[in-house]
Amino acid sequence: MTSEIALTFADWLVIAIYFVFILGIGYYLKQFTQSDEDFFLAGRKNSSWVAGLAFLSANMGALELLGMAGNTVKYGMFVSHFYWIGAIPAMLFLAIYMMPFYYSSKIKSVPGYLKLRFDEKTRVLNAISFAVMTLLVAGINLYAMALILHTFLGWGWALSMWISAVTVMVYVTMSGLMSAIFTEIVQFFLIWFGLFLVVVLGIVDIGSIGEIMSRVPESYESLWATAGSASANEMMVSWGGIALGLGFVLSFGYWTTDFLVVQRAFSASDLRSARMTPVIASFFKMALPFIVVLGGFVALFLMNEPGSGFELLREADGKINYDSALPQLIKYYYPHGLIGLGVTALLAGFMAGQAGNISAFNTVWTYDIYQAVIKPDASSKHLLWMGRVATVAAILLSVVTAYWARSMPTIMDYMQAIFSWVNAPLFATMVLGMFVTWITPNGAFWGLLLGMGSSLTLWLGVRFDFIAKSFITMSDSASSMAANFWRAWWAWLICFGLTIIISLFTKKRDENELVGLVKGLTEEKVEEDIPAYKRPGVWAVVSLVVLIILNIYFW
């Protein structure tokens, strides 16, 4: 197959309408962006459904679409773990247990909570590490957008990246989180409609889901049945790595502390809506494998079908580009006209992820680094200006990190490595801070710093071959993904343990200063006057039951 396809006028029209509409939203909402709270928190006016759809849409970037479809070709059904055990429990924990602390304290960012609970130095440490991580992840989304333009239009990498970057920069700069959220909602529906159809066409073409599954390797077909031994599955990870590394540390570290997604819940109009935000998103999150993972299986079937003519792209060095699986399916199945819709759906996903990262970066930079360290007396107008400057700077830096993302084997491996550096130890700090009153500021700071340092050291050791993967995973068989899971667990454990030890020997804060920030010192919200069908806890239980059923059915 060629690396490009000639688009018709109808295809170009669909793509053009999308870009004009997205930029138009940003321009229209600019008139409502008069203060820093409007720009960074969308005025705290959103309903639970608006915030919930934006919460998930911001997460549906390169990792969720290209990365997961490509990794299904490599790893099979195990990829569903990233959507189910690797997401749902953490999303529900955020909603029920952590959101009351976040939302009620009226903080503007996750590092802002660390300042209130611990001190300024812990806040700045997290802010800097989060800013760096966000730029790296933004580069992944930018690379993914460029991959689509390169695949379908044959444009050069540089041109593709700059067009993608400038589009996101324009509409986020105009109205910040407000435009990001409203465009994310539009992008949410585009993603579902534009990509679900390619899976349906694949099933119809092949015959049935059963026929697709009958042609994939046996080790690809289950979630847990082959997890007893690392050598029994393609991902080369055991249930311990899945449960501790992905299901606990990476999942909870991302969904409960990553400001990219938590920021959407902060924009809700009240605490109940903020708690419902991740609960609503959890149901859609569980359904995503029926598009992305099943799409990966369709690609795998076609690759092994003689005479199908379907193949994945290859890099100049001959390596298979697994991330091209979903774009190649769109090229393979969609007729002219629908190709424009498919390209637009993919671009919508990556722009949602990119806008999410950029809006999170400009908030943390402005409040937790610039205002905290450089200009404490900045006015609301000045902070609004700085947020727009930070947006432009972040886009330019993400162009640089996009080239690094392109050099990685898969964006999925790269993304999980990044999360293990920052989110894994941060989750330990957050859990101890929210649930243990005697954890000290110095314990939190040094535990977090050493936890992040240990994770980065282990990653560099494996990357440059002076630490064996098997040393981290404690097994003879080990993949890069397994190393990511286990490295996250060790980073969390190191941070957790050192934070406790250092806290035993350093000065504690007065409990009166921690009211509203730590469980046991915070008034519990009673929901007796709210009907059961509106309570976040009730819907969280329903979501958890659905998760258990899915895991049993696909065991």
Q: Are 442 and 494 in contact (CB under 8 A)?
A: no
The string of pLDDT tens digits covering residues 219-243 is 777 778 777 776 666 777 777 778 8
pLDDT of residue 3 exceeding 50: no
Does residue 106 or residue 460 have the better pLDDT? Answer: 460
pLDDT of residue 545: 94
HSE, side-chain direction, 13 A CA sphere, residue 234: 17
pLDDT band at 378 (very low <50, low <70, confident <90, very high): confident
Count the neighbouring beta carbons within 10 Å of the beta carbon of residue 243.
Answer: 17
Q: How far is CA 174 from the centre of its chain?
A: 24
Q: Are 277 and 51 in contact (CB under 8 A)?
A: yes
pLDDT band at 1 (very low <50, low <70, confident <90, very high): very low
pLDDT of residue 525 exceeding 70: no
Token couple for 405:
């993302």
Token couple for 483:
């190393």
The C-alpha atoms of residue 26 and residue 152 are separated, in whole angstroms, by 26
pLDDT band at 445 (very low <50, low <70, confident <90, very high): very high
What 3-state DSSP class applies to 314?
strand
Alpha-carbon Rg for the chain, nearest whole angstrom, is 23
Does residue 27 or residue 498 have the better pLDDT? Answer: 498
pLDDT of residue 168 exceeding 90: no
pLDDT of residue 382: 85
Among candidate residues 138, 250, 182, 226, the one with its CA nearest the CA of residue 33: 182
pLDDT of residue 440: 94
pLDDT of residue 115: 87
pLDDT of residue 2: 40
The string of pLDDT tens digits covering residues 407-423 is 665 666 667 777 778 88
The C-alpha atoms of residue 418 and residue 351 are separated, in whole angstroms, by 20
Count the neighbouring beta carbons within 10 Å of the beta carbon of residue 331.
Answer: 21
Over residues 258-285, mean pLDDT? 81
Helix then strand then coil, in percent of the chain rounded to 5, is 75, 0, 25
Q: Over the chain, what is the mean pLDDT?
A: 78
Over residues 264-290, mean pLDDT? 84
Q: Are 55 and 261 in contact (CB under 8 A)?
A: yes
pLDDT of residue 446 exceeding 90: yes
Token couple for 351:
């722009």
Homologous superfamily of domain range 9-29+48-553 = Sodium/glucose cotransporter (1.20.1730.10)
pLDDT of residue 374: 84
- Given the structure tokens 């105009």, which residue do they identify? 174
The string of pLDDT tens digits covering residues 50-66 is 777 777 776 766 556 66
- Amino acid letter for position 395: I
Percentage, residues of the chain above pLDDT 70: 80
pLDDT band at 316 (very low <50, low <70, confident <90, very high): low
pLDDT of residue 528: 56
Residue extents of the structural domains in the chain: 9-29+48-553
In 338-477, which ranges are continuous DSSP H helix? 338-364, 380-406, 411-435, 441-463, 469-473
Going by C-beta distance under 8 Å and a sequence separation of 6 or more, which residues neighbour residue 382? 375
Does residue 378 or residue 120 have the better pLDDT? Answer: 120
Cα distance between the two ends of the chain: 36
Does residue 80 or residue 221 have the better pLDDT? Answer: 80
